[in-house]
Amino acid sequence: MIIELQFTVFGFFGALASILLIVLFGTVGLEEIILSDSVSAATTSNVAVTAEVTVSIGCDSSPGSTAFGTLSSTVTSTASPNASTTMACANSGTGCVLYVKDANAGLATDTPSHTIPSPNAAADASTTLAAGTEGYGIQATSTAAGGSGNLLPVELRYAVTDNDVGGLVVDSETQALASANSTTTGREVLITHIAAISDATPGALYEDTITYSCLVQ
């Protein structure tokens, strides 16, 4: 749009009088509207927004060792101190699992070659240990340990007391110890190790290595 203003100035000086006469004539041009030959159509654009949420999982076991001391065929023995594994799980829709893996499926010695076995080869049941009969296994309970979320449900074979124990297996991805189906931080699984021997158990230093691993389901 263009607007034009035009002004003309005329001056007249009288000969006999000192009169200054100024006449202003002004003209205002008509409004002129200029349209372009084409009008641009409205345009749209899309903005893609993405975000990533990562699964957070933590697994911390301590202490690094526990010991039975000298085993006797007249009593069942409990190792000291108890072991514990603290698990944290966040942003997993299916939860996290604490697995347990055993190096020998029992307490073992190389010289002479002998193993104080877990309750059974399949480790699919809890067994009551008795003095005078070889056996070895663990018990587990879940504690708050200052964390948040639900306590970790312990597998039934390990959620036992007294002289009952759950057996151990070599495959770490088939034997679950406990699990978390929701966001959990700093929840602890406390492990008790119990063993029994017979009069025929060979004298030696028996050892075992148990590995705990936390995995997203």
Predicted local distance difference test score (pLDDT) of residue 15: 43
For residue 126, give the amino acid letter: S
Question: What number of H helices and E strands is found in the chain?
Answer: 0, 14
Closest CA to 185 of 75, 67, 91: 91
137, 167 contact by CB (below 8 A): yes
Has residue 74 got a pLDDT over 60? yes
Predicted local distance difference test score (pLDDT) of residue 59: 84
Q: Give dist(CA 3, CA 8) in Å, integer.
A: 17
Which two tokens mark 150? Answer: 């639900």
Q: Give dist(CA 38, CA 145) in Å, integer.
A: 73
Has residue 8 got a pLDDT over 60? no
Tell me the whole-structure pTM to 2 decimals. Answer: 0.73
State pLDDT tens for residues 110-135: 999 999 998 765 555 678 999 999 99
Mean pLDDT, range 40-53, rounded to an integer: 86
Mean pLDDT, range 65-77, rounded to an integer: 95
Mean pLDDT, range 162-187, rounded to an integer: 83
Give the percent of the chain with pLDDT over 70: 77
Lowest mean pLDDT among 24-38, 71-85, 184-198: 24-38
Predicted local distance difference test score (pLDDT) of residue 37: 57
Q: Give dist(CA 96, CA 211) in Å, integer.
A: 16
State pLDDT tens for residues 133-166: 999 999 999 888 777 777 888 999 899 999 999 9
